[in-house]
Structure 1
Amino acid sequence: MSKIAILLPKAYMLEQAKRVIEEDSLDIDILKVIKTPDSVYEARQVVELGAEVILARGVQAAFIRQYTNIPVAELTLTGQEIGLMIASAKKKVPDKKHPHIALIGFKNMFSDMTYADELFDVELKFYNITAIEQAAEKVDLAIEEGADVLMGGDTVNALAAQKGFPGQFIDSTEESIRSAITVAKKMIQTAEAEKNYIAQFETVLDSSYNAILEIDEQKHITIVNKAGEELFRKKAEQLQGAALEKVLPELEQRYMDEVLAGKRDSFMTSVYVAGMPMMLTAAPIQYENQIRGMILSFYRNTATRKNINTEELHSHYLKGYVAHAHFSDLKINSKEMEYCVELSKMYALSRKPVLIIGEEGTEKEILAQCIHNNSSYKAGPFVTINCSGMTEQMQIDRIFGNPNAEDESLKKGALAIGDLGTILISEIEKLSPVCQYRLYRAVRYDSLIQNDLERSQTLDNRIIATTTEDLYKCVQEGCFREDLYYLLNGLTVEIPPLRKRQEDIRAIVEECRVKFTRRYARFPRIAEDAMEALMAYPWPGNEIQLEAFCERMMLTTPKKTITSDFVHFLLDDLYPVQEHKLEDGTTVIYQHPEVARLTELLEKHHGNRSAVAKELGISTTTLWRHMKKYGVVSKYDLT
Structure 2
Amino acid sequence: MSKIAVLLPKEYMLEQARKVIQEKNADINILKVIKTSDSVYEARKAMEQGAGIIVARGVQAAYIREYTNIPVAEIILTGQEIALMVAAAKKIIPEKKHPQIALIGFESMFSDTSYFDELFGITLKTYFMKSMEQAAEKVELAIAEGADVLLGGDTVNSLASQRNFPSCFINSTEESIRSALAMAEHMALSAETEKTYAAQFETVLDNANNGIFEIDEKRKITIINRTVEELLKKSAEKVKGEALESFFPELDIKYVNDVLEGRRDMFTTSTYLAGIPMMITVAPVQYEEKICGAIISCYRYISAQKSSTDELHSHYLKGYVAKARFSDMRITGKEMEYCVELSRMYALSKSPVLIRGEGGTEKEFLAQCIHNNSSYKTGPFVTINCSGMSEQMQMDRIFGNPASEDIGIQKGGLAVGDLGTVLIAEIEKLTPVCQYRLYRAIRYEDLIQNDLERSQTLDNRIIATTSVDLGQLVKEGRFREDLYYLLNGLVVEIPPLRKRKEDIRSIVEECRTKFSRRYAKFPKISEDAMEALMEFPWPGNELQLETFCERMLLTTLKKTIAGDFVHFLLNELYPQTESEQEDGKTVIYQHPEAAELQTLLEKYRGNRSAVAKEMGISTTTLWRRMKKYGIINRYDLLERRQSAEKDVFK
Q: TM-score, normalization: structure 1?
A: 0.91
1:216-240 deviation line (CA, Å, top 9, x unaligned): 1111121222223233333222322
Task: Indicate yes or no: 2:386 matched with 1:387.
Answer: yes
2:183 maps to 183
State the distance in 2 between where 1:610 and 1:311 align. Answer: 74
State the distance in 1 between where 2:624 and 2:546 align. Answer: 38
Q: Once the 2 structures are TM-superposed, how far is the Cα of residue 589 of structure 1 from its aligned partner?
A: 5.4
Q: For structure 2, list consecutive stretches of 5 or more residues without a partner in the other structure.
A: 602-610, 637-650
1:275-308 deviation line (CA, Å, top 9, x unaligned): 43221111111111111111111123437x4432
1:613 maps to 618
1:318-346 deviation line (CA, Å, top 9, x unaligned): 12111110011112021121111111111
What is the number of residues matched between the two proteins?
A: 625
- 8 Å Cα contact 1:104-1:128 kept in structure 2: yes
1:400 maps to 399
Task: Indicate yes or no: 2:44 matched with 1:26.
Answer: no
State the distance in 2 between where 1:510 and 1:557 align. Answer: 16
User: Judging changes above 3 Å, is the alpha-carbon distance between structure 1 residues 184 and 536 closer, same or farther for their aligned structure 2 residues?
Assistant: same
Pairs within 5 Å for 1:473-622: 473-579=472-578, 581=580, 584-587=583-586, 595=594, 609=614, 611-616=616-621
Q: Once the 2 structures are TM-superposed, how far is the Cα of residue 104 of structure 1 from its aligned partner?
A: 1.6
State the distance in 2 between where 1:614 and 1:17 align. Answer: 104
Q: Once the 2 structures are TM-superposed, how far is the Cα of residue 505 of structure 1 from its aligned partner?
A: 2.2
Q: Once the 2 structures are TM-superposed, how far is the Cα of residue 11 of structure 1 from its aligned partner?
A: 1.3
1:524-543 deviation line (CA, Å, top 9, x unaligned): 33333433332222211111
State the distance in 1 between where 2:172 and 2:471 align. Answer: 85
AA paired with 2:489?
G
- 8 Å Cα contact 1:277-1:300 kept in structure 2: yes
2:605 maps to none
Pairs within 5 Å for 1:345-494: 345-494=344-493
Q: Once the 2 structures are TM-superposed, how far is the Cα of residue 607 of structure 1 from its aligned partner?
A: 8.4
- 8 Å Cα contact 1:446-1:456 kept in structure 2: no
State the distance in 2 between where 1:621 and 1:352 align. Answer: 54
AA paired with 1:343?
L
1:356-394 deviation line (CA, Å, top 9, x unaligned): 111111111110000111111111111111111112222
Residues 414-423 or 262-271, more deviating: 414-423
1:291 maps to 291
AA paired with 1:446?
E
- 8 Å Cα contact 2:306-2:378 kept in structure 1: no
Residues 183-192 or 521-530, more deviating: 521-530
Task: Indicate yes or no: 2:44 matched with 1:44.
Answer: yes
AA paired with 1:206?
D
Report the 3-state secondary structure (helix = DSSP H, G, I; strand = E; otherwise coil) of the residue aligned with 1:311.
helix
Pairs within 5 Å for 1:37-76: 37-76=37-76
- 8 Å Cα contact 2:537-2:578 kept in structure 1: no
User: Judging changes above 3 Å, is the alpha-carbon distance between structure 1 residues 460 and 164 closer, same or farther for their aligned structure 2 residues?
Assistant: same
Superposed CA RMSD in Å reads 3.0
Q: Once the 2 structures are TM-superposed, how far is the Cα of residue 454 of structure 1 from its aligned partner?
A: 3.5
AA paired with 1:117?
D
1:123 maps to 123
Report the 3-state secondary structure (helix = DSSP H, G, I; strand = E; otherwise coil) of the residue aligned with 2:51.
coil
- 8 Å Cα contact 1:116-1:122 kept in structure 2: yes
Task: Indicate yes or no: 2:210 matched with 1:245.
Answer: no
- 8 Å Cα contact 1:308-1:420 kept in structure 2: no
State the distance in 1 between where 2:248 and 2:383 align. Answer: 30
Identity %: 68
- 8 Å Cα contact 1:572-1:591 kept in structure 2: no
Residues 181-190 or 517-526, more deviating: 517-526
User: Judging changes above 3 Å, is the alpha-carbon distance between structure 1 residues 380 and 82 closer, same or farther for their aligned structure 2 residues?
Assistant: same
User: Judging changes above 3 Å, is the alpha-carbon distance between structure 1 residues 355 and 630 closer, same or farther for their aligned structure 2 residues?
Assistant: farther
State the distance in 2 between where 1:144 and 1:597 align. Answer: 93
State the distance in 2 between where 1:106 and 1:262 align. Answer: 38
User: Judging changes above 3 Å, is the alpha-carbon distance between structure 1 residues 33 and 459 closer, same or farther for their aligned structure 2 residues?
Assistant: same
Q: Once the 2 structures are TM-superposed, how far is the Cα of residue 597 of structure 1 from its aligned partner?
A: 11
Residues 93-102 or 556-565, more deviating: 556-565
Report the 3-state secondary structure (helix = DSSP H, G, I; strand = E; otherwise coil) of the residue aligned with 1:52.
strand
Pairs within 5 Å for 1:331-342: 331-342=330-341
User: Judging changes above 3 Å, is the alpha-carbon distance between structure 1 residues 562 and 142 closer, same or farther for their aligned structure 2 residues?
Assistant: farther
AA paired with 1:167?
S
Q: TM-score, normalization: structure 2?
A: 0.90
State the distance in 1 between where 2:470 and 2:22 align. Answer: 88
State the distance in 2 between where 1:480 and 1:622 align. Answer: 47
AA paired with 2:618?
A
1:8-47 deviation line (CA, Å, top 9, x unaligned): 1111122211121123322224112122222122111112
Pairs within 5 Å for 1:209-288: 209-288=209-288
- 8 Å Cα contact 2:54-2:71 kept in structure 1: yes
Residues 460-469 or 21-30, more deviating: 21-30
- 8 Å Cα contact 1:402-1:450 kept in structure 2: yes
User: Judging changes above 3 Å, is the alpha-carbon distance between structure 1 residues 463 and 30 closer, same or farther for their aligned structure 2 residues?
Assistant: same
- 8 Å Cα contact 2:2-2:188 kept in structure 1: no
AA paired with 2:578?
E
State the distance in 2 between where 1:626 and 1:359 align. Answer: 28
Q: For structure 1, list consecutive stretches of 5 or more residues without a partner in the other structure.
A: 632-639
AA paired with 2:206?
D
User: Judging changes above 3 Å, is the alpha-carbon distance between structure 1 residues 35 and 518 closer, same or farther for their aligned structure 2 residues?
Assistant: farther
Report the 3-state secondary structure (helix = DSSP H, G, I; strand = E; otherwise coil) of the residue aligned with 1:612.
coil
AA paired with 1:612?
I
Pairs within 5 Å for 1:26-175: 26-175=26-175
State the distance in 1 between where 2:626 and 2:341 align. Answer: 57
- 8 Å Cα contact 2:280-2:298 kept in structure 1: yes
State the distance in 2 between where 1:621 and 1:184 align. Answer: 86
User: Judging changes above 3 Å, is the alpha-carbon distance between structure 1 residues 99 and 567 closer, same or farther for their aligned structure 2 residues?
Assistant: farther
- 8 Å Cα contact 1:571-1:592 kept in structure 2: no
- 8 Å Cα contact 2:269-2:280 kept in structure 1: yes
User: Judging changes above 3 Å, is the alpha-carbon distance between structure 1 residues 482 and 582 closer, same or farther for their aligned structure 2 residues?
Assistant: farther
Report the 3-state secondary structure (helix = DSSP H, G, I; strand = E; otherwise coil) of the residue aligned with 1:150.
strand
- 8 Å Cα contact 2:59-2:132 kept in structure 1: yes
Residues 18-27 or 359-368, more deviating: 18-27
Residues 419-428 or 589-598, more deviating: 589-598
State the distance in 2 between where 1:270 and 1:528 align. Answer: 38
User: Judging changes above 3 Å, is the alpha-carbon distance between structure 1 residues 157 and 518 closer, same or farther for their aligned structure 2 residues?
Assistant: farther
User: Judging changes above 3 Å, is the alpha-carbon distance between structure 1 residues 73 and 434 closer, same or farther for their aligned structure 2 residues?
Assistant: same
User: Judging changes above 3 Å, is the alpha-carbon distance between structure 1 residues 271 and 594 closer, same or farther for their aligned structure 2 residues?
Assistant: farther
Q: Once the 2 structures are TM-superposed, how far is the Cα of residue 56 of structure 1 from its aligned partner?
A: 0.9
1:495-544 deviation line (CA, Å, top 9, x unaligned): 11112222322222232233233333433333334333322222111111
AA paired with 1:84?
L
Q: Once the 2 structures are TM-superposed, how far is the Cα of residue 587 of structure 1 from its aligned partner?
A: 2.9
State the distance in 2 between where 1:473 and 1:619 align. Answer: 45
AA paired with 1:8?
L
State the distance in 2 between where 1:50 and 1:353 align. Answer: 62
1:10 maps to 10
- 8 Å Cα contact 1:540-1:580 kept in structure 2: no
Report the 3-state secondary structure (helix = DSSP H, G, I; strand = E; otherwise coil) of the residue aligned with 2:223.
strand
Report the 3-state secondary structure (helix = DSSP H, G, I; strand = E; otherwise coil) of the residue aligned with 2:177.
helix
AA paired with 2:227?
A
Report the 3-state secondary structure (helix = DSSP H, G, I; strand = E; otherwise coil) of the residue aligned with 1:457.
strand
